[in-house]
Amino acid sequence: MSPMRTDDPVLVKMKEICLSLPDTKLTMTWDQPHFRVGDKIFAGCGEEKGKLTIGFKLEMEHAHEILSDRRFTRAPYVGHKGWVSMDARSIRDWEEVRRLVLESYRLIAPKRTLAKLEATGEPAVSPARSRKRRR
């Protein structure tokens, strides 16, 4: 597996989305680009079985539901914790990707960082989580 090119359009777009969030950074982990909030990974890009994929963590229920969409698969090693991979060739709507990455970020980021996110106008809690709390 060759390293991902820094000018790959998928990586460029993921950097735009992920690095716009508070307290984030790009690291090379397992020879692939990963995005961290603090020291914890919340998204990544890489190659799985010869396909370029992006990965992120979702609420367990959401992760289970999204797997019915053929663009998504359970992420290797961490899928049982809500991590999913999306075939990057299937991306047509980067706003959808942004929402999924934001859900992951909200699940991983510490409360102090979520307060910074809320200060930008983004709610610190995902709409899916707030619906669950109201039930």
Domains defined for the chain, CATH in brackets: 9-130 (3.90.1150.30)
What pLDDT score does 133 carry?
42
Predicted pLDDT of residue 40: 97
Neighbouring CB atoms inside 10 A of 22's CB total 17
pTM of the model: 0.88
* Of 32, 41, 29, 43, the residue nearest 97 (C-alpha): 43
Residue 2: pLDDT band with limits 50, 70, 90:
low
- Across 108-130, average pLDDT: 81
Taking 70 as the threshold, does the pLDDT of residue 32 lie above it? yes
Give tens-digit pLDDT for 94-115. Answer: 999 999 999 999 999 999 999 9
- Residue 6 confidence (pLDDT): 73
